[in-house]
Amino acid sequence: MARRLLHKGIKHWKLEHALELYREGRISKARAAEIAGVSIYEIMDLAREQSIPLQYSLEEAMEDIKAMLEQAGEQGMLRTSIPH
């Protein structure tokens, strides 16, 4: 019982800590999710629930575009090569 409570407390602290760092702009959504041990979608939902504005940097946008292009290429959706 004590172990379970400790585990829940640590998980809650990690989540709150990650959201605070994200709120301050010190880490990205992906890093916040990694610290908290949840998916990026969960971090986005939790940030919205706590009225934390979503931050989206140019670097994150470029990473997302690159990932989408790579995924499209893997699925055979691209007909031309995209420089990386």
Q: Are residues 17 and 39 in the same domain?
A: yes
User: Quick one: 46 and 64 in the same domain?
Assistant: no
Burial 54-81 (b: 16+ CB within 10 A, else e): eeeeeeeeeeeeeeeeeeeeeeeeeeee
For the stretch 21-79, pLDDT in tens is 999 989 888 889 999 999 888 998 999 999 998 887 788 788 778 877 887 777 776 65
pLDDT digits (tens, 9 = 90+) for 9-23: 889 999 999 999 999
Co-location of 38 and 61 in the same domain: no
8 and 49 part of one domain: yes
Helical packing angle, 29-36 and 40-49, nearest 10°: 100
Q: Domain range holding 15?
A: 2-53
